[in-house]
Amino acid sequence: MSGHFFRAEPVTAKQTRFWEVDLLRGFAFILMVIYHGAFDLAVFGGWPIGVTSGAWRAFADFIASLFLFVSGVSLVLARSRAGQDTRSYWWQVLRRSSRLAAAAALVTIVTWVISPRDVVLFGILHLILLSSLVALPLLRLGLWNLPIAAVAWLLGLLLARLPGNPWLFWVGLVPADYRSFDFRPFLPWFAVVLLGVSAGSWLYSGGGRRWAFPSWERLFPISIVIWLGRHSLMLYLIHQPVLVVLLAVLGLLDVGRLIG
């Protein structure tokens, strides 16, 4: 492999989007669609798929980890891209946080209408929103976020052993009878965001790539996956209704379960 591939790219204050980050987010979205398709078949179709345990549970955790990791990397890139333009940066933070908050609230409202018992009060979007805000003052620490991530993960494991609390379930004190369509407590999952922050601080130090990368962003099907990654929030909100309708049209779902 030629040596020029490993030379650092020029650093600019307002570096354009890095296609590999969007690619990873798009890949996570595709995996999520696969998992939710299996979930719909199990819940609304009566298919014998154990989506909440075993390998399927591990698959769901892996998908969530990808989204959270990329979220951490993106926080670093957004800060680097802004450079010295502090006003523009905080405006972007406010805009991104507002969009996430609106999307998370929509998920909560829709799931409450569908099934109040399984309402999503602190799902992946709620977690990304809170984690993104808590991580902001930690961005300057760079790789020192690694030991903080380790502490966050250990705290999460400790909280899981303590009695649950209905008011602090979102932190990690989860009651034994708590159930939800989607739930990711702040601890230990905040640790994965901090891993992304650490990786982003090292791989994109100063706003540029540590190593030169080939220009594959226009190649098919890479370009399609990148597009999915760049529009993942919007697609996240609509993919489940689309999946349910598609599976129902194909006769793979029990309509009685769906409307019951």
Assign 44 a pLDDT band (cuts: 50, 70, 90): confident
How much is the pLDDT for 161?
A: 94
Of the pLDDT bands very low, low, confident and very high (cuts 50, 70, 90), residue 1 is very low
Could you give the dihedral angle defined by the CA atoms of residues 247, 253, 258 and 259, in that order, rounded to the nearest 10 degrees?
100
Q: Percent of the chain beyond pLDDT 90? A: 75
DSSP 128-153: HHHHHHHHGGGGGGGGGHHHHHHHHH
Per residue in 93-132, pLDDT tens?
999 999 999 999 999 999 999 889 999 999 999 999 999 9
- Alpha carbon of residue 188 to chain centroid: 14
Please provide the DSSP assignment of 150-209 as one string: HHHHHHHHHHTTSPP-TTSTTTT---TT---SS---HHHHHHHHHHHHHHHHHHTGGGS-
Per-residue pLDDT tens digits for 175-209:
999 999 999 999 999 999 999 999 999 999 877 88
**Is the predicted pLDDT of residue 260 greater than 80, yes or no?**
no
What residues does each domain of the chain span? Answer: 16-51+220-260, 77-213
The pLDDT mean for the chain works out to 89
pLDDT band for 213, please (50, 70, 90 cuts).
confident
